[in-house]
Amino acid sequence: MDEVEQFGLARKWWLALTEACFLPLPPGAVQSLLTGLVADLLAGLHSELFDPSVGASTGAALVDARLTADAVLPVSAGVLAGLAAYTSHPEATPRLAMLLAAFGQGYGRALADARWAGRKSVEQAMSEAQRAADERFRVVFDNAAVAIAVGDMDGCLVDANRGLADMIGVPVEALRGISVYDFAHPDDRDGIRAVIYDKLVPAGAGTVKLEQRIQRADGSYGWASFAITFVKGAAGHADYLLAVGEDVTERHRMEDELHWQARHDPLTGLPNRRQLVERLEGAIGLAGDDDQVGLCFLDLDGFKNVNDHYGHGAGDRLLTAVATQLRASVPEHGVLVSRIGGDEFVALIPPPADQDRVAAVADSLLSSLEEPITVGHNRLRLSASIGAVVAPVSGADAEALLDAADTALFRAKADGKGRWVLRAHSARPGALAIYSDESSA
Q: Which domains, and CATH codes, for the chain? A: 3-118 (no CATH), 144-249 (3.30.450.20), 263-424 (3.30.70.270)
With cut-offs at 50, 70 and 90, classify the pLDDT of residue 323: very high
Q: What is the pLDDT of residues 299-310, one digit of tens each?
A: 998 888 888 888
Q: What is the pLDDT of residues 223-274, one digit of tens each?
A: 999 999 998 877 677 888 888 899 999 999 999 999 999 999 999 999 999 9
CA distance 113 to 299: 82
What pLDDT score was predicted for residue 117?
67
With cut-offs at 50, 70 and 90, classify the pLDDT of residue 428: very low
Beta strands in 153-197 (DSSP E): 157-160
Backbone φ and ψ for 299, nearest 5 degrees, come out as: -130, 130
Cβ partners under 8 Å of residue 351, min gap 6: 283, 287, 288, 291, 292, 293, 393
Bridge partners (DSSP) of residue 147 are 245
More confident residue, 265 or 439: 265
Q: What is the pLDDT of residues 333-374, one digit of tens each?
A: 789 999 999 999 999 999 888 899 999 999 999 999 988 888
What pLDDT score was predicted for residue 127?
62
What pLDDT score was predicted for residue 433?
44
Distance of CA 64 to CAs 60, 113, 365, 415, Å?
A: 6, 10, 81, 93
| pTM for the whole structure | 0.57
Q: What is the pLDDT of residues 34-84, one digit of tens each?
A: 888 888 888 888 888 888 888 888 888 888 888 888 888 888 888 888 887
Q: Are 225 and 167 in contact (CB under 8 A)?
A: no
CA distance 331 to 346: 15
Backbone φ and ψ for 267, nearest 5 degrees, come out as: -80, -50
Average pLDDT rounded to a whole number, residues 313-324: 91
* Region at 348 (left for phi over 0; alpha for psi -120 to 50; beta for the rest): beta
What pLDDT score was predicted for residue 112?
84
Bridge partners (DSSP) of residue 344 are 299, 341
What pLDDT score was predicted for residue 299?
92
For the ranges 115-119, 307-311, 401-405, the lowest mean pLDDT is seen at: 115-119
What percentage of the chain carries pLDDT values higher than 90?
A: 25
Number of C-beta neighbours around residue 201 at 10 A: 17
Say if residue 430's pLDDT is above 50: no
Q: What is the pLDDT of residues 167-202, one digit of tens each?
A: 999 998 888 888 888 888 989 988 988 888 888 888
Among 30, 38, 2, 3, smallest CA distance to 14 is for 30
More confident residue, 395 or 214: 214
CA distance 188 to 338: 33
* H/E run at residue 244: strand 240-247
With cut-offs at 50, 70 and 90, classify the pLDDT of residue 437: very low
Average pLDDT rounded to a whole number, residues 401-415: 87
CA distance 402 to 422: 13
Distance of CA 150 to the CA centre of its chain: 24
How is 7-70 classified by DSSP, letter by letter?
Answer: HHHHHHHHHHHHHHS--SS-HHHHHHHHHHHHHHHHHHHH-SS--THHHHHHHHHHHHTT---T
CA distance 73 to 84: 18
**Residues composing the chain:** 441
Per DSSP, the three-state class of 394 is coil
Bridge partners (DSSP) of residue 386 are 298, 420
